Amino acid sequence: MANPSLKIPLWHIALATLIVLGAFALRSAVVFERAAGDPVFYPPDGNDMRTYLTQAETILAGGWTWGRQPGPSLLFALLMGGMGTREPGTLMLALSLLDALAAGALIGCGWLLTRRLWAGHIAGALYALYPLSVFYGTTLLADPLGAQLLAWGLLLTLWQTERARWPRTILLGGLLGALLLTRNNLFPLAVALLVAALWGLPRRQLVAHVGVAVALALALNTALATSSALDIDMQLYSGNNRDANGFGGASMAFIAKDTPTYWQALAQDVLIAPLRFAGLLLHKWAASWSSLEFGNNIDYLQTRAVSPTLQALPGDFALLAVGAGVGLAALWNQQRRLALGWLAALGMFTLALIATFALSRLRYPMVVLLLPLWSVAAVALVDGLRQRARRWPLAGGAAAGVAASVLFPLAVSAALIPPKPIFDALPNGVTPLNVAFGESGVRLVGWRTLRFWEGPARGWMRPDQAYTVQLYWALDRPTELDYTFHIAYVVDDVRYAGADSRLGHVSFPFLPTSRWQPDRIYSEIVAFKATEPLPLATYGEIRVGVYHVDLDTEILTDYPVTEPAPDRSWVLQTLAFYDGSTPAVPDDLPRVDLRFGTAGGDQIVLEALDVPTQAAPNETITLRMVWRAVGDVARDYRLFLHVMDADDQLAAQGDRAPHPVPSSNWQPGYPFYSEMTLTMPEQAGEYAVYLGLIEAVTRDRLPIDAPDFRPRVATITVGG
């Protein structure tokens, strides 16, 4: 059944016009204040606003190609061409007018939703005066345009509840298409409200109207260009990785991602710390409904500091949400179908913020859904007072508002994220250390390798992989300083890759050393990825160091290792990188195929060996050999050579690593060619040559099917 007709007296139209003009005046004032004091009034390179302007100029030059969120660029190109200027300030004034007109659309939404003209003015006036609306309405971003399109789409959707008309459906499809070009995440919200508003139509009419609107919207988006260009997996990972704080931005985990896709990287991080991931989602939900304003490319708080107009305007997002909660409760009692659609739209919007990151400019278009609910809340309050009865809408709305008022202060806290684990003793599976870094009092007490990041455990990696381990730290005594650590890959004293971060600041929530308790153990997962070519098939050291930078004087104080032995930094392990290529080795070496080791343990094969058969007394000969690892080798081995005389007495020997790259850093299957010199005995005669592999620390021989684990490999005639 159609709603009663809505007759609009002239003075209500005049009041609506005054609200729109007032909104434009406020936004214009902010444009001039930004021009005078905002450092990003003229967007710098790398800023999203600069990207849209550059794309708009490309369109005007005839070089348009589909890009990410092309809606703003298309609008800016239209304004540039129509006004004959590319001055950002002039564009902002034009956008301010468009944003002021959105206040008029919200007035219409309030009229249609409540059937009370005075209530409609509340929604429009709030949009006109809300400081975030005033601020974003002057920015060259996608979000204010998305909010404006959502406002007009909402007006058309509510208008369709009067009587479904095909011209409005076609116009709504165009608006939805523009919305999809501008902000993908807003499209499902508008469809949800459209379905809810038209649900009372016969089923065929409902499907027809919704289908035509959605089909037209999709048709305006050539091959869904905006969806394919959004890199949503990258956004998801940047907001949900193991180091994320929920508000976007780079992190150690994001920079060091080494899986083929961000989806795989996210899955690894979630499996490593599932409770932290769940807490992060709750934290982002809370922040999405709080008064916090997180900047990204452009910062409301920074602009507010230089804008008297913004400083004079009251209001924050949490208060808007509380009033909207009351209105939604009242709408639920009056028009449950429409309330369900509204609730679904708000839920989808919040889910989109939680899935990526909670930035205020991404959240901003939600105000379009909240403000008409203030009109509903006002009507419910007035009607309840007039009837002097505690009607359910008023009581339920008040309860919802009170509950929200209690919950929102909690929303600003990071306590929803489980704190980083703090230990009294090293957990099982952690390799103990006791490395002291000078006078800092900081100790590296342990480290461990991690599931999914096997490179450190096996001792070799590919250049495209991230080095990722978990470090465990402790503090000898309380400190007021916040220390910084570095972890780096160093070859011959040259740092090729690494990362620096304040201790306790790798992942969120931050816990710097100035807040550490002595004798407690703190841990973080740290990672780095090479950003320049690495020396291949050689080995380097993973070094860890501690230092402090005074932010006032910029003086850097380095703290070298004092225990267990003095050094400039601590060598955590050796590591080698391989790019998958196979080097050429001499093909004139005789094959011997000697296999050292046992199944389930370290296995090394001597594939080829060339030993001279003749030598002069005291001559130094050269042995040439090719080695391969069968599987990963956990330990470092040394090669021993025994030269035995006719009486089976040791006449000469050699002991050295089989190759300059330690065996624990050998890539399985990679051929390692090496040469070893050996000085022959003074006495002439025939000598037997034996060799074997011995573990560098324990001196245990690596097993092989030969007596004493040393096969005979050659006979050398010395002299004559």
Query: Reduced to 3 states, what is the DSSP secondary structure of residue 687?
Result: strand
Q: Which two tokens stand for residue 606?
A: 């001597």
Question: For position 385, what pLDDT does the model report?
Answer: 75
Angle at 288 between CA 232 and CA 176, to 5 degrees: 55
Q: Where are the domains of the chain?
A: 10-411, 422-577, 591-718
Beta-strand ranges (E) seen in 312-459 are 422-423, 431-437, 442-448
- Residue 586: asked if its preceding bond is cis (omega within 30°), the reply is no
Beta strands in 2-161 (DSSP E): none
Q: Which residue, 465, 474, 433, 429, is CA-closest to 448?
A: 429
Return the amino acid letter for 277.
Answer: F
* pTM given for the model: 0.84
Of 300, 18, 277, the C-alpha closest to 138 is: 300
CA dihedral for 143, 144, 148, 154, sign (positive or negative): positive
By CB atoms closer than 10 A (0-12, 13-18, 19+), residue 410 is exposed
DSSP class per residue in 430-478: PEEEEEEEGGG-EEEEEEE-BTTB-HHHHTEE-TTSPEEEEEEEEESS-
Rg (the chain; Cα; Å): 35
85-to-91, 95, 529, 651 alpha-carbon distances in Å: 8, 14, 45, 92
- Token pair listed for 607: 């594939």
C-alpha dihedral sign at 661, 664, 670, 672: positive
Q: What percent of the chain has pLDDT over 90?
A: 58
Q: What is the pLDDT of residue 400?
A: 59
Average pLDDT of the segment spanning 476-480 = 94
Give which of 292, 314, 312 is closest to 301, Cα–Cα: 292
- Residue 2 confidence (pLDDT): 44
Reported as a single tens digit per residue, the pLDDT across 277-295 is: 988 888 888 888 888 888 7
Instruction: Please count the residues of the chain.
Output: 720
The pLDDT of residue 403 is: 55
* The two structure tokens encoding residue 368: 């379009």
Per-residue pLDDT, 47: 84
pLDDT of residue 291: 81
Q: How confident is the model at residue 688 (pLDDT cuts 50, 70, 90)?
A: very high
Q: Rounded CA gap, 550 and 685, in Å?
A: 71
pLDDT given for residue 41 in this prediction: 86
pLDDT value for 392: 52
Query: Are 508 and 240 in contact, with CB atoms under 8 Å apart?
Result: no
Buried b (16+ CB within 10 A) or exposed e, 527-566: bbbbeeebeebebbbbbbbbbbeeeeeeeeeebbbeeeee
- How remote is the C-alpha of 128 from its chain's centroid? 35
Q: What is the pLDDT, as a whole number, of residue 231?
A: 64
User: Is the confidence at residue 163, as pLDDT, over 60?
Assistant: yes
Q: Calculate the average pLDDT of the chain.
A: 89
Name the residue with tokens 């165009």. Answer: 174
Query: What does the DSSP 8-state code read for residue 672?
Result: E
> Given a cut of 60, is residue 4 above it in pLDDT?
no
CA angle in degrees (0–180, nearest 5) for 395-396-402? 90
Q: Tell me the fold of 591-718.
A: Immunoglobulin-like (2.60.40)
8 A C-beta contact, residue 487 and residue 543: yes
Q: What is the pLDDT of residue 407?
A: 56
Rounded Cα gap, residues 569 and 486, in angstroms = 9
- Token code pair at residue 119: 């209530």
Q: Give Cα separations from 668 to 430, 530, 578 (angstroms).
A: 26, 22, 11
pLDDT in tens, 365-424: 999 999 999 999 999 888 877 775 555 555 555 555 555 554 555 555 555 677 778 999
Confidence label for 1 from pLDDT (cuts 50, 70 and 90): very low
pLDDT, residue 224, reads 45
Residue 171 pLDDT greater than 70, yes or no: yes
| Predicted local distance difference test score (pLDDT) of residue 140 | 92
pLDDT tens figures, 180-239: 888 878 888 888 888 888 888 888 888 998 898 888 888 877 644 544 445 678 888 988
Provide the token pair at 319: 């208060």
Pair type for strands 570-577 and 460-461: parallel
| CA 155/CA 199 separation, integer angstroms | 17
CATH architecture of 422-577: Distorted Sandwich (2.70)
Nearest to 52 by CA among 165, 135, 142, 154: 142
User: Which pLDDT band, with edges at 50, 70 and 90, does 353 fall under?
Assistant: confident
Measuring CA to CA, how many Å separate 478 from each of 146, 517, 559, 622? 51, 6, 17, 59
CA distance 283 to 270: 16
Neighbours of 401 (CB within 10 A): 19
DSSP secondary structure letters along 229-271 = TS-HHHHHHHHHSTT--SS----HHHHT--SSSHHHHHHHHHH
Tokens of 355: 């899935």
**Tell me: the pLDDT tens digits for 301-339?**
889 999 999 999 988 888 888 889 889 988 988 888 889
* CA–centroid distance for 18 within its chain: 45
Would you place residue 514 in the very low, low, confident or very high pLDDT band (cuts 50, 70, 90)?
very high
Q: How far apart are CA 290 and CA 284, in angstroms?
A: 10
Structural tokens at position 662: 């330690």
- The pLDDT of residue 415: 57
Residue 268 CA from chain centroid, whole number? 13
Residue 590, CA distances (Å) to 58, 94, 129, 587 in order = 66, 82, 87, 8
Rounded Cα distance between 460 and 462, Å, is 7
Largest CA distance in the chain: 126
The mean pLDDT of 624-636, rounded to a whole number, is 95
Residues forming beta bridges with residue 686, ordered by sequence position: 717
pLDDT at 374: 95
Segment 44-90, tens digit of pLDDT:
887 888 888 988 998 888 887 666 678 898 899 999 999 988 898 99
Tell which residue, 445, 451, 471, 449, has the closest CA to residue 523: 471
pLDDT band at 246 (very low <50, low <70, confident <90, very high): confident
In tens, the pLDDT along 560-618 reads 999 999 999 999 999 999 998 989 899 889 999 999 999 889 999 999 999 999 999 99
Chain mean position to CA 602: 38
Determine contact, residues 473/521, Cβ cutoff 8 Å.
yes
pLDDT digits 0-9 by tens, 645-680: 999 999 999 999 999 999 999 999 999 999 999 999
- Nearest-CA neighbor of 26 among 110, 136, 123, 111? 136
For residue 561, the cross-strand partners are 437, 567
Q: How far is CA 134 from CA 17, 95, 287, 312, 358, in A?
A: 17, 11, 21, 12, 20
Interatomic CA distance for residues 605 and 594, integer angstroms = 6
| pLDDT classification of 534: cutoffs 50, 70, 90 | very high
Q: What is the pLDDT of residue 108?
A: 94
Give yes or no for residue 345 having a pLDDT over 80. Answer: yes
- pLDDT for 229: 47
